Amino acid sequence: MFDRMLRNMPQGARARVENTIDGIGLMMSVRNPQVALDIAPSALRGLVLRQGKMQKHVDMYSAHPVHFDLSYQGDHPEMYDLYRRAVANQWDADQQVDWSIDVDPLNPERPVVGDLVGMDHIQQSLNMRLTPTEQARLKADIGAWVLSQFLHGEQGALYASAQVTESVRWLDGKLYGATQVMDEGRHVETFFRYLDTKLNKLYPVNDNLFVIIDDLMTDSRWDIKFLGMQIMVEGLALGAFSTIYSETREPLLKEALRYIIQDEARHVHYGVLALREHIQSELSAAERREREDWAFEVALLMRNRFLMHEVYEEWFGDRIRRRDWDRMIQTAPGMQQFRKIMFSRLMPNLDYIGLLSDRTKIHYEKAGLMQFASGKNATQLTGEDLLAQNDTISREAARIAS
């Protein structure tokens, strides 16, 4: 009966009702009431009011303090070293990436993000047949969706890095932060130019990603912004970029990602340096517990909820129930591999900064995420290491497939 009522609703209203149900489920699943209170206003704006979809821009209000330094003394040699490396490795997206390369997103020889979800899996799980032309278009749309979410995440990173540059107490961190703001501006430029001039398609921000970005922008505590952006979003993005770097056969995107991945490796490195010190020496036990729980909830939000609903609405919203689509995405082998690489980048960093306590390890274990905690953390991996590692993963995947 409820299903029939949903089916008869216009698509926008139906998405809002389904998001509200999702949002209530999300709030019910959050164990720490303080964390639920933190996330609730953003969940309301993102999932129920769908602010990321309704207008051309959104105002987000932040009241973080600006830490104005009066001594100008170098105070963190490792951050200063990262700053020098960032200055030396600046690049010009307009000049160093070959924008003259022709990109045809429908070309089966050069898929933009590979067959991430798996056309066979989609057809089997949803019990339907797609023509070869529909398959090529769906693959191209999935590629545009993934890269659009990268773009929206980059815009979030641009503002988060600007806000955190104001708030951190290390002068060397502020110098480093200035280079990150420049990096993120260049990433926004690169992804937008690629989507706009090569794929000719831009998807709106995913509602769940909007919730996370809104939460980070509006929280006045710098370390929450930092934890959310530098560790969680950037850590997972680094895994996601690396996966697409391995999977893409499109040379322009591959070249751009090679540059971007090296920038991102520095960003996550800076994040773990700053937070390890802060969490271990400056927070009370209660504050630390709250951050442990916040990180766990955001990890779950990101594990479970990047379900390409915008692609679903465009392609299948009128004929397939959203929960069947969700199940299909969650069980897709390519997406499981994608999540595995993303969490292999994130979990060792959460451990290194001290947010995997014995208490929360039990929750991560139940969520199937502890298996990813034993790899190298961001201080042990350079951008070059990551690229080499992904070339190996890519060769291994090709070997298994052949």
The nearer residue to Fe ion, 115 or 184, going by C-beta atoms, is: 184
Nearest approach in angstroms of CB 280 to Fe ion is 24
The nearer residue to Fe ion, 157 or 209, going by C-beta atoms, is: 157
DSSP 52-110: HHHSS-------PPP---SS-----HHHHHHHHHHHHT---HHHHS-TTS---TT-TTS
Nearest approach in angstroms of CB 238 to Fe ion is 8
DSSP 314-338: HHTTTTS-HHHHHHHHHH-HHHHHH
Nearest approach in angstroms of CB 48 to Fe ion is 29
How many residues in the shown chain lie near Fe ion by CB under 5 A? 7
**Binding window for Fe ion (CB under 5 A); candidates: 1-9, 48-56, 126-134, 259-267:** 259-267
Nearest approach in angstroms of CB 339 to Fe ion is 20
Nearest approach in angstroms of CB 196 to Fe ion is 18
Regarding 291 and contact with Fe ion (CB under 5 A), the answer is no
CB hemisphere CA count around 83 (13 angstroms)? 17
Degrees to nearest 5, angle at CA 198 with 195 and 203: 25
Exactly one of 157, 168, 256, 301 binds Fe ion (CB under 5 A); which one?
Answer: 157
Instruction: Please list, residue by residue across 259-280, b when 16 or more beta carbons sit within 10 angstroms of its beta carbon and e when fewer do.
Output: bbbbbbbbbbbbbbbbbbbbbe
The nearer residue to Fe ion, 250 or 264, going by C-beta atoms, is: 264
Q: What distance in Å separates the CA atoms of residue 236 and residue 256, rounded to the nearest whole number?
A: 18
Written as six digits, the tokens of 184 are 């993120």
Q: What distance in Å separates the CA atoms of residue 23 and residue 353, rounded to the nearest whole number?
A: 29
| Chain centroid offset of residue 207 CA | 13
**Binding window for Fe ion (CB under 5 A); candidates: 1-9, 19-27, 233-241, 294-302:** 233-241
Regarding 234 and contact with Fe ion (CB under 5 A), the answer is yes
| Listed residue (392, 214, 211, 389) closest to 300, CA to CA | 211
Regarding 238 and contact with Fe ion (CB under 5 A), the answer is no
Nearest approach in angstroms of CB 91 to Fe ion is 13
Nearest approach in angstroms of CB 75 to Fe ion is 23
The nearer residue to Fe ion, 78 or 104, going by C-beta atoms, is: 78
**Binding window for Fe ion (CB under 5 A); candidates: 23-31, 122-130, 234-242, 297-305:** 234-242
Contact 195, 151 (CB under 8 A): yes
| Listed residue (261, 137, 116) closest to 199, CA to CA | 137
**Binding window for Fe ion (CB under 5 A); candidates: 257-265, 269-277, 298-306, 368-376:** 257-265
Binding mask 162-201 for Fe ion (x = CB under 5 A): ----------------------x--x--------------
Nearest approach in angstroms of CB 139 to Fe ion is 25
**Binding window for Fe ion (CB under 5 A); candidates: 265-273, 336-344, 352-360, 373-381:** 265-273
- Number of neighbours of residue 88 by Cβ within 10 angstroms: 8
Regarding 267 and contact with Fe ion (CB under 5 A), the answer is yes
Nearest approach in angstroms of CB 31 to Fe ion is 30
Q: What distance in Å separates the CA atoms of residue 210 and residue 195, rounded to the nearest whole number?
A: 19
Query: Residue 359 corresponds to which amino acid?
Result: R
**Binding window for Fe ion (CB under 5 A); candidates: 1-9, 49-57, 137-145, 146-154:** 146-154
Applying CB under 5 A, which residues contact Fe ion?
A: 154, 157, 184, 187, 234, 264, 267
